[in-house]
Amino acid sequence: MKKSLLVLLISFSVGAVFSCSKAADEQKLLLSGTAVKGDQGYTYKITLEKIQFNWRIDNNNLRIKLFAQTPGWVGIGFNPSEGMKDADFILGSAAGGTATISNQHGVSKTLHSKNTDIGGVNRVINPSGNETKNGTEISFTIPYKTGDKLTKPISVTEDIPILLAYGQSKHLMQLHSFRAKLTVNLSTGKYAVILMTEK
């Protein structure tokens, strides 16, 4: 009995250490820095591999431009709690001079749905996009002080978690081929990258 209890305790301890180590690895700092001057009309820009995130705080709104070296979609998510869960996503693609941009919500760690399909509202203002031989660009504005029943306000003065991603398909629900998780202070431009993967 004592031997069985000892084995159980050792197994539990090893499992706990493994779980903590795995969580620590997932949050390990990959790189950090301060965003550079943004493109014309934007204050800051962060570039990771083949994706760029430009932004500007404009009164009570965030003006955002995303670019990725892909023929498919590009997107950003604010304030995920775990994986994609609870994130406020804006995803978009462009073709033939027409942009398709969608405001979505992370309903689980691996799934998101259109806000308007699950009781929320479309918070995207002035959406536009363009496809070039180099990739896909989308731009839009969202209010950061107010959310809806699904989305909490975005803090522009604190470090907040942000997801950046793009895919090879124009279909917005197609799996990403690149994703990154950062913490960003939208007022100072300081950021830290804690996850970055590419297929």
DSSP lists the bridge partners of residue 190 as: 34
Residue 12 has pLDDT above 80, yes or no: no
Q: What's the rounded Cα separation, in Å, for the pair 100 and 182?
A: 25
Lookup: tokens for 156: 């522009």
Lookup: tokens for 103: 């405001």
One-letter amino acid for residue 78 of the chain = F
Going from the C-alpha of 137 to that of each of 72, 73, 97, the distances in angstroms are 10, 9, 11
CATH code, 30-198: 2.60.40.1210
Q: Considering Cα of 173, then 179, then 79, then 86, what sign does the dihedral take?
A: positive
Q: What's the rounded Cα separation, in Å, for the pair 149 and 151?
A: 6
Using one digit for the tens of pLDDT, what is the confidence trace for 40-65?
A: 999 999 999 999 999 999 999 999 99
Q: How does the average pLDDT of the chain come out, rounded? A: 86
Compare 174 and 177 and report the one with higher pLDDT.
177
Q: What's the rounded Cα separation, in Å, for the pair 191 and 32?
A: 6
The predicted model scores a pTM of 0.84
Which range is least confidently modeled, 60-69, 156-165, 172-181? 172-181
Helix (H) or strand (E) holding 88: strand 88-95
